[in-house]
Amino acid sequence: MAQKQARAGNLSKANQTVCSVLKAAFGHDTLHKLQEKTPVGSVVFDKQSWPTTDALDELHRHDKWLNIQENSFSIKKVGQYFRNCKPLSAQARMDGEDANTLDGYS
Domain ranges of the chain: 52-106
Local confidence band at 105 (pLDDT 50, 70, 90 cut-offs): very low
Q: How far are the Cα atoms of 7, 65, 75, 90, 94 from residue 98, in angstroms, in the given order?
A: 19, 35, 20, 10, 9
pTM exceeds 0.85, yes or no: no
Helices (H), 8-62: 11-21, 30-37, 53-61
Question: What percentage of the chain exceeds 90 in pLDDT?
Answer: 3
- Among 13, 10, 12, 14, smallest CA distance to 2 is for 14
13 close to 5: Cβ distance less than 8 angstroms: yes
Under the banding of pLDDT at 50, 70 and 90, the label for residue 54 is very high
Length of the chain: 106
Q: What is the pLDDT of residue 98?
A: 54
pLDDT at residue 3 above 60? yes
Most confident of 40-54, 68-82, 90-104: 68-82
